[in-house]
């Protein structure tokens, strides 16, 4: 789909952001658990308590707007920083494009992708995140 005017581009961006819930982190019940999968898609034995982590889901689009998939996120470092900008942890997504960052309860954090020069950050939540939040990050290359 090629748009030549600004209104079409704005509409396209708004349409792409629609499933993201307007940038607010998804609130999950404390009892909800997530399971990790390996590259073959098999569910790992251990489950992660989502009330103690910030769950990040990464998606990559190409410049022509084709979805490249979550596996392209494996090359990107993601960091979690506290309110003072101090890096708490840094990880790469798994084959599904997800990361669970363990964080202490009661503090606010930000997710920061460390993208190479050819990549751009298309969408990342701007608000403070807390343990139990789940966020979506969209990158473009």
| H-assigned helices in 18-93 | none
pLDDT of residue 101: 92
- Is residue 19 domain-resident? no
Residue 34 is part of a domain; what is its CATH number?
2.60.40.1140
- Is residue 89 domain-resident? yes
pLDDT of residue 23: 45
Token digits of residue 54: 């910030």
Q: Which domain holds residue 59?
A: 25-140
Produce one character per residue of 23-58: b if its CB has 16 or more CB atoms within 10 Å, e if not: eebeeeeeeeeeeeeeeeeeeeeeeeebeebbbbbb
pTM for the complete prediction? 0.60
Number of domains in the chain: 1
Residue segments in the chain with a per-residue pLDDT below the cut of 70: 1-48, 65
- Is residue 128 domain-resident? yes
Query: How is residue 135 annotated by DSSP?
Result: E
Phi-psi region of 74 (alpha: psi -120 to 50; beta: other; left: phi over 0): alpha
- Is residue 69 domain-resident? yes
pLDDT of residue 124: 87
- State pLDDT tens for residues 49-81: 777 899 999 988 887 767 777 778 888 899 999
């Amino acid at each position: 789909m090629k748009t030549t005017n600004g209104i079409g581009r704005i509409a396209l961006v708004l349409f792409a952001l629609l499933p993201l819930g307007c940038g607010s982190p998804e609130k999950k019940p404390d009892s909800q658990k997530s399971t990790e999968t390996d590259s073959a898609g098999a569910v790992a034995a251990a489950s992660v308590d989502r009330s103690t982590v910030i769950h990040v889901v990464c998606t990559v689009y190409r410049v022509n707007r084709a979805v490249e998939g979550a596996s392209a996120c494996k090359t990107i470092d993601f960091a979690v920083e506290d309110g003072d900008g101090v890096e708490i942890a840094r990880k790469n997504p798994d084959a599904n494009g997800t990361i669970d960052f363990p964080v202490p309860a009661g503090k606010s954090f930000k997710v920061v992708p460390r993208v190479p020069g050819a990549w751009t950050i298309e969408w990342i939540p701007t608000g403070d995140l807390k343990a139990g939040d789940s966020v979506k990050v969209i990158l473009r290359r």
